């Protein structure tokens, strides 16, 4: 999926869209997406001036967006307006910094599926080196009125 297809699957828009493309997607199983980290990202203005590092929480958000694409595509909900909401994050570990110029690989797989609630395992990496990993839970629901 290129960025145009990603925009059809996710409600996120710049500056919070953190998935640039999907390299591989196996419905009901896993996804490999990519975020091209550039120096122009808004968060680098303050994190940290002179030593830019992508915040760990945004790495987790990028993994969650990849998981949302996996869930929306698996359930054939693209274009329905359904949203994927974070419910919990477990075991988050940050292993290495992510700096401008990196291609951040986002690999997420389903761990559990229950009606509208899903559990995922995610790992972010740069050049094969894990930068962040966690398990998280999300639910699919209608947007607030």
Backbone φ/ψ region at 91: left (φ over 0), alpha (ψ -120 to 50), beta:
left
Cis peptide before 48 (omega within 30 of 0): yes
What angle (nearest 5°) sits at the alpha carbon of residue 85, between those of residues 145 and 93?
155
Q: Which of 21, 32, 47, 82 is catalytic?
A: 47
Task: Select from 84, 34, 42 the least CA-distant residue to 59.
Answer: 34
Give 30's strand partners: 26, 109
Distances (CA, A) of 20 to 50, 88, 129: 25, 24, 20
* Active site annotation includes 12: no
Residues with a catalytic annotation lie at 47
């Amino acid at each position: 999926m290129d960025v145009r297809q990603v925009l059809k699957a996710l409600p996120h828009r710049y500056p919070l869209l953190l998935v640039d493309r999907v390299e591989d997607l196996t419905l009901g199983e896993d996804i490999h997406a990519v975020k091209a980290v550039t120096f122009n990202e808004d968060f680098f203005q303050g994190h940290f001036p002179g030593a830019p590092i992508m915040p760990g929480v945004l790495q987790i958000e990028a993994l969650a967006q990849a998981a949302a694409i996996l869930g929306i595509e698996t359930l054939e909900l693209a274009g329905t307006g359904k949203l994927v909401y974070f419910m919990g994050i477990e075991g988050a570990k940050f292993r290495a910094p992510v700096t401008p110029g990196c291609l951040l690989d986002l690999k997420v797989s389903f761990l559990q599926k229950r009606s509208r609630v899903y559990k995922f395992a995610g790992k972010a990496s740069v050049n094969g080196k894990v930068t962040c990993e966690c398990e998280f839970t999300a639910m699919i629901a209608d947007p607030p009125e």
